[in-house]
Amino acid sequence: MDLQGQNGLVSTYRQSWRNRGLAGVLVSALLVTFYLVLYFEDKLEKVIHMRPLTDFATSVGLRNRWYLYGLLYCVLMIVGGALYLRKHGNSRYNQLRIATNVTVQVLFGFLLPFIMPLFNGPELYVSYFWPLKYDYFYPHTLQDLPLYFAAYTVLGSLLLAPIMAYFFGKRWYCSWVCGCGALANTFGDPWRHLTSKSTRAWRFEKWSIYLVLGLVLLTTALVGMDFLVGAQHPTFHRLVAGEHWDDWSLKYLYGLVVGAILAGVVGTGLYPILGPRVWCRNFCPMAAFLGLVGKFGRFRIRVKPGMCISCGNCSTYCEMGIDVRSYAQSDQSFTRASCVGCGMCAHVCPRGVLKLSNAPRGQADKKRQGLTVVDF
Ligand code: SF4
Ligand code: SF4
């Protein structure tokens, strides 16, 4: 029994599968193995002469292993979402957020892309935008998309997403719509306290996330250039957009390193070791882009002055490794580019100190000071 009565705050460190104990390491190993097979099944087939995920997917009537992955993703999110709401469902914000997460993923992340090809339609993912769905801005992809969807994805990525981030912070996407964030907030929730709050982790995050954003910009620009001049420059074409794995093209490497290893193997496989937002915090170019916009926008976490008792619940539960307590102790409302607006810091605060706000900035909020990151 959790005697503290803070939504399982004490028990977070008591269970082996949640405190990097043996059970947690085994769950992580299982997830990593699954992702390695998912991404590299073609290579594995040369060794074991079978395609385990593809064979299983087709045996249950799914077209390929990616639909099997989509189905498992939805199941984990629904089960994880129900367990999350059992602990934290006493808040309307959490109820609406998790219901939206699951609905968006089931409808737009699985059912729509599965059903449309049955009627000879295209496989479209309406809840993903560039630069997260990096190939949506490759000219060949845009050419193959229906015109209405090409317009939607360009305008959605360059206008809708940043405008929404200005008014609501990146929470509208990272905590309500995005499939990666939705899995982290449901299936990954039991490990949220494992996100590092150390200064070293914060320094790493600042470099890594903007490095990936730079890489996606470079890759998109060079693939676009290749579309225009690649036919006359075969070496440039091979280095930038070569389709075979042994070309080691920039496009192939970005997909392999960022799209498969960082987003899948590391980003989800290591939930039980590094917490559920490893990808979002350190590598997601969409999070970097929306976080930059959000710095100039309205969203912030308001702190009620003189109320904090320094219990640290908010920092413990912050899945992005933000030291919320240090702001609360200093009576300092704040905006952080990495904050995904999950609302858990406010939810677990026993004194009601914190409030997520989109209201235009008042005079008090304008006076922000840089706080040293506390290493604990
Ligand atoms: S600061 Fe609060 S709202 Fe932002 S990511 Fe951390 S817990 Fe979620
Ligand atoms: S803001 Fe609330 S949860 Fe965070 S340290 Fe202060 S009292 Fe505790």
Structure confidence by residue, pLDDT tens digits, 156-203? 999 999 999 999 999 999 999 999 999 999 999 999 999 999 999 999
Closest ligand to C-alpha of residue 94 is: 1
Which residues, 6 or more positions from 135, have their beta carbon under 8 angstroms from its beta carbon? 141, 255
pLDDT digits (tens, 9 = 90+) for 249-287: 999 999 999 999 999 999 999 999 999 999 999 999 999
Q: Does a structural domain hold residue 18?
A: no
Structural tokens at position 107: 């409808």
Q: What is the mean pLDDT of residues 317-346?
A: 95
- Is there a single domain that holds both residue 314 and residue 260? no
Q: From 267, 290, 313, give the residue that closes a domain.
A: 290
| Confidence tier at 244 by pLDDT (50, 70, 90) | confident
pLDDT reported for residue 15: 84
Q: Does a structural domain hold residue 332?
A: yes
- Is there a single domain that holds both residue 219 and residue 278? yes
- Is there a single domain that holds both residue 274 and residue 310? no
- Is there a single domain that holds both residue 203 and residue 280? yes
Residue 84, pLDDT above cutoff 90: yes
pTM of the prediction?
0.91
Q: Tell the residue nearest (CA) to atom 6 of ligand 2.
A: 308
Q: Where are the beta strands (DSSP E) in the chain?
A: 300-303, 354-357
- Residue 312 is part of which domain span? 297-366
Q: What does the mean pLDDT of the chain come to?
A: 92
| Residue in the structure block whose two tokens are 């976080």 | 291
Which residues, 6 or more positions from 247, have their beta carbon under 8 angstroms from its beta carbon? 238, 239
The neighbouring-strand residues paired with 354 are 303
> Is the Cβ atom of 190 under 6 angstroms away from ligand 1?
no
Nearest ligand 1 atom, CA 346: 2
Nearest ligand 2 atom, CA 352: 2
- Is there a single domain that holds both residue 286 and residue 209? yes
- Is there a single domain that holds both residue 217 and residue 276? yes
Nearest ligand 1 atom, CA 317: 7
Which residues, 6 or more positions from 263, have their beta carbon under 8 angstroms from its beta carbon? 180, 279, 283, 284
Q: From 255, 290, 325, give the residue that closes a domain.
A: 290
Type of residue numbered 114:
F
Type of residue numbered 300:
R
Q: Tell the residue nearest (CA) to atom 7 of ligand 1.
A: 318
Q: φ, ψ for residue 302 (rounded to 5)?
A: -90, 140
Judge contact between 282 and 291, C-beta under 8 A: no
pLDDT reported for residue 10: 55
- Is there a single domain that holds both residue 215 and residue 277? yes
Type of residue numbered 355:
K
Distance from residue 315's CA to the centre of ligand 1 (Å): 8
| Ligand 2 pocket test, candidate residues 313, 332, 371, most atoms within 8 A of CB | 313
**Domains: count for the chain:** 2
Q: Does a structural domain hold residue 181?
A: no
Q: Does a structural domain hold residue 329?
A: yes
- Is there a single domain that holds both residue 265 and residue 302? no
> Is the Cβ atom of 354 under 6 angstroms away from ligand 1?
no
- 3-state secondary structure (DSSP) of residue 80: helix
Q: Tell the residue nearest (CA) to atom 1 of ligand 1.
A: 339
Distance from residue 225's CA to the centre of ligand 2 (Å): 51
Q: Does a structural domain hold residue 124?
A: no
Residue list, ligand 2 pocket, CB within 6 Å = 308-314, 324-325, 328, 349-351, 353-354
Here the CATH number for the domain that contains residue 325 is 3.30.70.20
Q: Does a structural domain hold residue 237?
A: yes
- Is there a single domain that holds both residue 303 and residue 281? no
Q: From 275, 290, 305, give the residue that closes a domain.
A: 290
Q: Tell the residue nearest (CA) to atom 6 of ligand 1.
A: 318
- 3-state secondary structure (DSSP) of residue 7: coil
Distance from residue 185's CA to the centre of ligand 2 (Å): 21
- Is there a single domain that holds both residue 203 and residue 283? yes
- Is there a single domain that holds both residue 268 and residue 305? no
- Is there a single domain that holds both residue 267 and residue 333? no
Q: Does a structural domain hold residue 335?
A: yes
Q: Does a structural domain hold residue 109?
A: no
